[in-house]
Structure 1
Amino acid sequence: MGQVVISTNATLDGVVEDPDGKEGFALGGWFAENGGADLDAWFEVATAEALHAEALLLGRRSDEWFGRRWTTRSTELANRLNSLPKYVVSSRSEQPVWTNATVVSGNVVDEVSKLKQTVAGEILVYASAQLARGLLKHGLVDELRLVVFPVVLGAGRRLFDQTSARTPLRLVKSETIGENLAFLTYRPEVTRDH
């Protein structure tokens, strides 16, 4: 049975918007600016995570974001991400941008529940805040991994903006990546059946 793992980078105040600074957000670019020398260690952790995964689950905008940036790269991480099966949640009928992708439409809760039954192993959710909130709300998240960058932006889209349900989590692991990045792993306290 598959496990849905939300894996994302965020600022200390939870902002996930425009990490590379190419989306026009005035405070964007925080990933490289505040990752600095720790980014080599971050890439090692991200590569190990990707090598362990069996699939990616993304929202439409995240598919576009990654597809435009990763298909032309040839690092070990890029090669793994590009080759993984991808499931893109979208209400639109257009084709996904990233390689090896299938559109998931209809009732997201039902479709992700089915996906968990068919994929053996980790299904990573990258950079898809709206999707992540919905999955967490419906008890479909098995683990949440956050890499926290040492900066407070004070504005921007946050991972858990406007959540509609309280979700208790349990910290199962905390470590440091490099010298300044916190890597936190949480699991939901209560698993709901769907």
Structure 2
Amino acid sequence: MSASRKIVAGLFMSLDGVVEAPETWHFPYVDEEMGEAVESMHAAADTLLLGRTTYESFAAVWPDQVGALADKLNDIRKLVASTTLAKTEWTNTSLIDGDVIEAVAGLKRQPGKAIHLSGSLTLTRALLHAGLVDELRLLVHPIVLGSGRRLFPEGATSMPVELVRSATFSTGVVDLTYRTA
């Protein structure tokens, strides 16, 4: 039996661990290095996994964009975990039917490249809890927000991880890749 596909969760994070609403604090740190990091996350994947909120945010912007990242996001297979959406409009997008954890576990067993989980805090937490996330790719921004939803909330279960890659950008953003145990 072949090895299962990898799920890589990519998130923008503040120094104090906030991952909520990066559109309100992330953009001052966008430069060529950040662009290359984000493109590399998507380049290694053939499937993009999104929660409803992230899907709606992406679908409102990316279909009208141009460039390599826009082409990748518009062309890639996209799966959305939502119990409230009735349909999707963005090209190559499908809703996950039934139990999300079972569907994603099944997706991991199918042949293919990595599955990129972008943002989608609720979905990321659920997949981490189910042991389905293989890597966390955290782009930690040099800003303290003081409030907002964090990837690991107070009282989260202990989860050992192994740092497998790190880089620091000229903006002070630290690009960290952790493998889950």
- Fold match (TM-score > 0.5): yes
TM-score relative to the length of structure 2:
0.91
How far is 1:179 from its partner? 4.1
Q: Distance in 1 between matches of 2:162 and 2:44?
A: 22
Q: Flag the 1:155–1:55 CA change in 2: closer, same or farther, 3 A.
A: same
- SS for the counterpart of 2:162 is strand
Partner of 2:175: 183
Pairs aligned (count)? 178
Contact 1:137 1:167 in 2 (8 A): no
The residue type paired with residue 158 of structure 2 is R
Partner of 2:165: 173
Q: Distance in 1 between matches of 2:113 and 2:130?
A: 20
1:85-104 equivalent positions in 2, closer than 5 A: 85-104=77-96
Contact 2:81 2:100 in 1 (8 A): yes
**Of residues 146, 156, 161 in structure 2, which corresponds to 1:154?**
146
How far is 1:161 from its partner? 2.5
- SS for the counterpart of 1:99 is coil
Q: Distance in 2 between matches of 1:105 and 1:47?
A: 28
Cα deviation digits, residues 26-45 of structure 1 (max 9, x gap): xxx21123x1xx52210012
Contact 1:2 1:123 in 2 (8 A): yes
- SS for the counterpart of 2:159 is coil
How far is 1:151 from its partner? 0.2
1:52-67 equivalent positions in 2, closer than 5 A: 52-67=44-59
Q: Kindly, what percent of the aligned residue pairs are identical?
A: 38
- In the alignment, structure 2 segments of 5+ residues that lack a partner are none
Q: Distance in 1 between matches of 2:86 and 2:167?
A: 40
Q: Distance in 2 between matches of 1:177 and 1:54?
A: 26
Partner of 2:17: 14
**Of residues 29, 36, 60 in structure 2, which corresponds to 1:44?**
36
- SS for the counterpart of 1:2 is coil
How far is 1:99 from its partner? 2.4
How far is 1:162 from its partner? 5.3
Q: Distance in 2 between matches of 1:48 and 1:184?
A: 13
Partner of 1:114: 106
The residue type paired with residue 13 of structure 1 is D
Q: Flag the 1:163–1:79 CA change in 2: closer, same or farther, 3 A.
A: farther
- SS for the counterpart of 2:31 is helix
Partner of 1:3: 6
How far is 1:74 from its partner? 0.6
- Matching of residue 31 in structure 1 with residue 26 in structure 2: yes
- In the alignment, structure 1 segments of 5+ residues that lack a partner are 21-28, 190-194
Contact 1:17 1:158 in 2 (8 A): yes
Moved over 3 A (4+): none
Partner of 1:144: 136
How far is 1:52 from its partner? 1.8
The residue type paired with residue 178 of structure 2 is Y
